[in-house]
Amino acid sequence: MDLNRIQLVTNAFPCFSFVPEAAWRHPDITVERFSPQLTMQQGHLFAHAAFVLSGKVRIYIISESGREVTLYRVQRGGVCVLMMASILGETGYEASAQLEEETELLLLPVDVFKDWMDHYKDLRQFIYRNMINRMVSVTSLVEDIAFKPINARIAELLLRRTTDSHNHLSITHEAIAIELGTAREVISRSLKEFEKAGWLQLGRGRITAIRRDALQEKLFPSDW
């Protein structure tokens, strides 16, 4: 890799700042751009560790019944910790991944990644810190699915995806169901209740006139 490309990588990932220039000359270290919709399926064995330089990757699992649940997303400066765990543990991938937009990745061969993990403390700390943070977020997701009413979870998603000045969202009921790990029919029923209450308006693949103030009041399970 040339110096300009190395600089772009270290801007996104400061943990690589202490890797010497000579180490980047490995012929199989590359930066590649991939088209949206590219997927990686559960059970995959990785030949490279991927670091996201731009774009967005959705990490999800599929239940035995075929229902998808989004675990988290990875963007610039991030990694899929389940991928890293798979590589370090030499096991199959425990999730699936889908590129949601054009994405640029730094690809490190597995042997290089493991060697750098052994030799560079900053990289090692970055990976383990991300693992801890993702464990917390996924645990919170599981708790939400198990204990939080679906209406409150839908309200949270709508608030997270909108602002006071941008109170509409282009999204299908199916996409919300996948995001929240439930059935489309459940989402449609809840959104119709929201519409009946005057908190939003439904259209084909679109939710408009979202009253964020009303949804904010409904985030607490006791209100349902």
42 and 142 both lie in a single domain: yes
| Mean predicted confidence (pLDDT) in 63-92 | 92
103 and 198 both lie in a single domain: no
Mean pLDDT: which of 24-33, 139-148, 210-219 is highest?
A: 24-33
Q: Is the pTM of this model over 0.85?
A: no
152 and 133 both lie in a single domain: no
* Tens-digit pLDDT profile for residues 12-45: 999 999 999 999 999 999 999 999 978 899 999 9
Query: CATH code at 104?
Result: 2.60.120.10
What angle do the packed helices 150-161 and 173-180 form, to 10 degrees?
110
**The total number of structural domains that make up the chain:** 2
Final residue in a domain of this structure, among 121, 146, 171? 146
The encoded tokens of residue 49 equal 């560790």
Q: Domain range spanning residue 68?
A: 3-146
- Specify the pLDDT at position 142: 85
Contacts of 85 (CB under 8 A, 6+ apart): 91, 94, 131
| Mean predicted confidence (pLDDT) in 137-162 | 89
66 and 124 both lie in a single domain: yes
Final residue in a domain of this structure, among 115, 146, 177? 146
16 and 105 both lie in a single domain: yes
| Mean predicted confidence (pLDDT) in 201-216 | 92
